[in-house]
A and B are shown apart, each in its own frame.
Chain A
């Protein structure tokens, strides 16, 4: 009978534990071993790239004179908790590879290449921390819970030594490639490591780490490393790209040394960025806004087309403050968008040759606060959504920076003349008039101090809005001398004629006709008045900001960590 049968089954099941095999399941979407399979080990490395590569960032522009904003940095309001950059989770993953790769069965060449990349990123992350805080705990193996975890901060010098050791290893392990090699796809290579080494040594020699400029040999080391990097890269075919504007859109060109590649994948937030959207006017963008609005100080920093300052009476061109865009360094209008300039073509069905208006009432949504927009690396072919999910590659180090690093180190070791060809190469590419002496507007026979100022200006212009200015000002300990006690400015652009009249004129002409008209009669329609961007406070950078504080959330976790000097209870000297 059925009932009896089910009873037997039931009793049978109660008495046996044979059913426990249903508990023997394994996770379906994870792997337990990656070090014996080159594809899995490579995938592990792909993830290390994804989380460690630097990317687009417009914040740093606001912590300097490039744009407005930057509140707590600019007004002396930073607290212990303001700067939290602590990528020890990434460092652990790197250490795990370095610890384990040799125990796996990959080929020696494979191991070498992976180790070289891992050490490169370990050096990179330690350097990113050291430049913020000075010395941090050096952790070079993936710790287990039984290790002594309550570590102390290592001296800055110990950290730099380790960073250089890792970079030297990666220089030895990483492949040598040329810009046109198939392998030049975003992976770091020997030249990348050499360029980063040059940058690290440049920082370490700079006043941030050596305020009295008395440390022996640091500039010499910086000079040598940057010279090695330049020479090596040059020998491999790296160099300045021909076009200052399109170098951003000809991806992996010969100027790109250290790159983060992008390719929009909807569910991978690391694969795209919204830098373009944040930079563009909101009227032709969406999702982000307000970044990279140039200050008047930046607008005025660009020289005339012959490379002379706008105030230099010796310039071949006369600076006209009403037609300030005329006869400027070509990088001016490759970087700055002003009222009446062409900006954004062929997108969202807008007429080609679209003109950007920044006058009061000329913009519908969130008008620019400074009267200007920035156009560097902004892809004008992108629609709003593409701008928000932009795939433009980020170039952390381009060849121009290697030249500038070398120029600066050369000048500091006394080889001032060696800096000239480095700067003129950059100015020549920019399209500045060579001048009769082929110095592209540079003063003849500069002193070391003059050359220092020239290099700093060149960095400000060439690398504008590339996230370098803030770190440079900090590295030079130049915030106080350059910015403290000052305020940043912009322009209020106003219509001089009634809006109806202007609108009628606007709609009666093609953009090109309008543009041409404004080249001669701009002042009939528009007036510029200087406006204050720092309305409340003077800029007030404090000396302790040259090495930030460790956040209390970090100190709470480990009582062995000392706070940085200059901050509450700070005892750790970052200059050692």
Chain B
């Protein structure tokens, strides 16, 4: 049993064998008098490395490369087949000598091993709220980033992709955001604290499993950064056996899920005319569209999105080899991913390479070396890319007026536009912006089983991570062509060129390099031993990490030739800059688990963390946790309850922290900026930084969790429930509202806000009994999560009317009074008016009180009226609409409900898996800007505005006349409120494996072909205007992806 010598949390298999052996050898002993053999196979064919043991004995073996096993067993009893990520199979022997078994991916199994941070645990002994998903579940899903593969697969985890740009990642939120600061979970990859970038860089094919730590007790061992939960990733490792090669390739194409409709040329022209009419502009004004023009536009309308559309393609290829001998085991893998966007010059590339190697130097000493690299490239238009949503490009195409074609005779039309989205996506004319991310990760781990103290092992690891983000931006001015104009008011563009319209721009080359260099050193002692029925598992860890982030950029203008996109083609630099930040952390972690007969479980842990963000006296944070479990099913009295195979009650409480705020806010510092005034030459400036807070320290969250795990019907069905309550306090924020704005200083963050959160999540699974004689199998897995927040204490103005206070409301609606202050429009800003209807007739106006005004304007036909609730002086209606009449219009702007449903079925080697995903309960505000007499006429508006009030359309849904403000921006009101609840078929996978008989002649281990579809069907959407999963209505659209794949094993 060489394999059960070591305990690396990332080596699942070894740990499983170790535990199995330990238990069997310690507790039981039984006679051997029979031999059973057979083949174990999975979806893709034979499974190697499956643990086969005889229940209640120490007899154990594993399957070979062909899935064959041979085990000595008694005639009676049960053989247990287990394999990480697959449901355990228990087959009664009943005198059989040949037992073939088909394993199916993991229903919730108590003996499955889950990684829970610094160690692995059998699921049966886990006392916290932990969900995990095995990579085999999403192996076929062609995703650009790992986060995209997980949506809908984990209970209580909300994963949404806010835009469909190639390479766009998804946001991951565990349960609910309980803070105003960083809400991203902590990402830990193979025991190394990483970040979302590194997580997304992983290819699904190099991942073994993903585990989510949801409750405070599970997360508390990650202390100061775990308040938003923890995502643990385990990558694949080699298993003893002959080398196995696996290739998977997919080719797919994409379609948008939904593109919001915009006004066509005729509708836009008509609406502009109506608007001019409302404004009482005389009909002679040249801005009116004349009848001949309107008639022309009835038959001439150009959809810029359609005209520029290129069908996006994506292809992915991965190859990995795994195997090993007794002493050396390896996983070598690589992947390539290429995806194009729906417009020219938008694409994404990713390469990953990984080598994970385990060397058993001696019986007790193992060395592991993990090396991996990822390289990603996004390529887009020349403008500065702050995020990869490409909203500006997409929005421009969406809103370009239908009255003008993008090109005439192949030349870009410059009438009515200042810039041309077609030319912008042509790199030779307008330049480009390419960003490369390159991550290099190396970890050396030493494991040592201390021979003289039974159960004691030590582990130390050093990780070095380097990321390089290199951006190269070439920006070029370009020319558009002006064409003659026709029509009564010159609104029709003709086809003879009359001039050039230059898009003037600085001609420059800019490149920027950002680096992240960090290391993490870990030293860990484990002690795990059973004393009779008493089981003890203790872990002690020292962790230390430092990080350095330097960046540098340079820009040269006026290139001698735009075809030489190198610094050599320009003189002195126009601009050079850069900066550097550093951070460091030290942590101590301790875990102590005790169990009595695997029945009563008690876990305690602590983490003692230090970060340089805080002043020396406040920088150490202590984060303890305790949890307990009771496996009722292990009780003797429960033996008789045949229905249950497992039943466990759990409870936990843990304290976690959050420190994602700016460093050094405890020091009074001055910023040096390049924003000094100009005195003949530019100067540097210095301004006072934030007003220091010498007391700043950790933000903390205390989480209570109670859970129930159950398995019934011969383990075919499983159920898991978790309920939580979280009190986040000392939330860091600048309490700017608590001082009058005559104070003048920007306050540092201080620890004062409080948010409560609560909710529950449920997982339910059913697996058909997959015995050998059955060709048909199926499974159902469902998850459902509800989580909500309540603001208890927040920064609010001393004199804020109570009805606008955010206290008692969920996070995300608004923190009070924000609309006026900076005029920022946000789709989750649900503070607005209750629309009481458009004033359609004179009678509607006459019914209003004397002197009634709507935001200062006397009522007129076509205006949207609001409910008069109160005035500045009173809480009673005051006979006019003022900003005081605003209320919170919805309960949630962040979806409190998330759910997923996976259905899978297989018949022989044909299988079908369906994943449904949904969110519910959140509302959003549509853009309230309507059509307009444009200052620049190139912009259209959304189609819903076509149904606006006018004398000819007195029943129009939308108002015909603006109330106030620039252009036709309306104020947020219930009229524009949409419900963003939806259910979609997120993924469908149809797969067929060639029969083994056919393959035997080819020498291939397995061949499988599959079709995978993403976002194919919106089953229900309360929002009929745009895809509710998107960030907002103008987000680059999500894509339906149709992929065809091939998987070959050798």
Contact = CB atoms under 8 A, between A and B. Distances in A.
A520 interface: no
A385 B873 CA distance: 50
Given A44-B686, A360-B286, A365-B415, A559 B798 contact: yes
A493 B282 CA distance: 15
A3 B448 contact: yes
Interface string B578-616: 011111111010000000000000000000001110001
A10 B684 contact: no
Contacts of A77: 855-857, 964
Contacts of A145: 691, 739
A355 to B, nearest CB: 14
A226 B671 CA distance: 39
A32 B574 contact: no
B36 to A, nearest CB: 39
Interface stretch (B206-214, B500-508, B705-713, B999-1007): B500-508
B737 interface: yes
A90 B502 CA distance: 40
Nearest to B744: A92
Interface in A489-517: 492
B882 A79 contact: yes
Given A364-B415, A535-B280, A23 B679 contact: no
Contact of A23 (B286, B506, B581, B610): B610
B477 A385 contact: yes
B434 interface: no
Among A46, A185, A561, find the residue whose CB has the most chain B CB atoms closer than 10 A: A46
A31 B663 contact: no
B681 interface: yes
A63 to B, nearest CB: 14
B579 A50 contact: no
B808 interface: no
A569 B743 contact: no
Contacts of A215: none
A92 B689 CA distance: 12
B686 A79 contact: no
Contacts, number: 313
A22 B584 contact: yes
Contacts of B687: 44, 47, 51, 93
A554 B883 contact: no
Interface stretch (A169-177, A240-248, A261-269): A261-269
Interface stretch (B243-251, B312-320, B538-546): B538-546
Interface in A264-279: 265-268, 270-271
Interface SS majority for chain B: loop
A103 interface: no
A25 B612 contact: yes
Given A47-B686, A261-B679, A553 B821 contact: yes
Contact of A81 (B286, B681, B820): B820
Interface in A361-381: 361, 364-367
Interface stretch (A13-21, A294-302, A410-418, A419-427): A13-21
B817 A88 contact: no
Interface stretch (A193-201, A285-293, A330-338, A396-404): A285-293
B951 interface: no
Given A93-B688, A151-B742, A286-B418, A367 B286 contact: yes
A263 B448 CA distance: 65
Contact of A261 (B546, B680, B817): B680
A139 interface: yes
A72 interface: yes
Contact of B584 (A25, A142, A555): A25
Interface in A85-130: 86, 88-93, 95-96
Contacts of B33: none
Interface stretch (B172-180, B482-490, B890-898): B482-490
A557 B798 contact: yes
A367 B525 CA distance: 77
B672 A261 contact: no
B458 interface: yes
Contacts of A561: 740
Nearest to A290: B935
Contacts of B689: 30
B741 interface: yes
A38 interface: no
Given A22-B586, A46-B683, A268-B675, A360 B797 contact: no
Nearest to B860: A536
B817 A30 contact: no
A364 B668 contact: no
A513 to B, nearest CB: 20
A316 interface: no
A366 B523 contact: no
Contacts of B746: 89
A86 B741 contact: yes
B872 interface: yes
A569 B872 contact: yes
A493 to B, nearest CB: 10
A522 interface: no
Contact of B580 (A28, A79, A551): A28
B677 interface: yes
B667 interface: yes
Contacts of A492: 284-286
Contact of A43 (B575, B610, B672): B672
Among B279, B499, B664, B683, find the residue whose CB has the most chain A CB atoms closer than 10 A: B683
Contacts of A185: 679-680
Contact of A150 (B667, B677, B740): B740
A78 interface: yes
B122 interface: no
Nearest to A147: B743
A50 B677 contact: yes
B669 interface: yes
Contacts of A261: 677-680
B504 A384 contact: yes
A31 B670 contact: yes
A456 interface: no
Contacts of B466: none
Nearest to A360: B286
B686 A43 contact: yes
A32 B817 contact: no
B685 interface: yes
Contacts of A311: none
A526 B940 CA distance: 33
Interface in B564-582: 574-575, 577, 579-582
A49 interface: yes
Contact of B542 (A3, A10, A271): A10
A49 B575 contact: no
Given A72-B856, A265-B682, A361-B490, A556 B798 contact: yes
A532 interface: yes
A89 B689 CA distance: 12
Contacts of B675: 47, 50, 268, 270-271
A568 interface: yes
Contacts of A553: 741, 797, 817, 820-821
A453 interface: no
Contacts of B883: 79, 81, 552
B685 A44 contact: yes
Interface in A510-547: 529, 531-532, 535-536
B936 A282 contact: yes
A149 interface: yes
Contacts of B524: 10
15 contacts: A3-B364, A6-B448, A7-B458, A30-B672, A43-B683, A47-B685, A49-B677, A81-B820, A92-B743, A92-B744, A266-B555, A270-B675, A271-B678, A388-B504, A556-B817
Given A77-B855, A290-B935, A554-B741, 10 more contacts: A28-B579, A34-B670, A139-B744, A142-B745, A186-B678, A289-B936, A360-B286, A361-B489, A365-B418, A557-B739
The list of the 6 closest CB pairs from A to B, nearest first, reads A92-B744, A47-B685, A46-B676, A49-B677, A385-B504, A384-B504
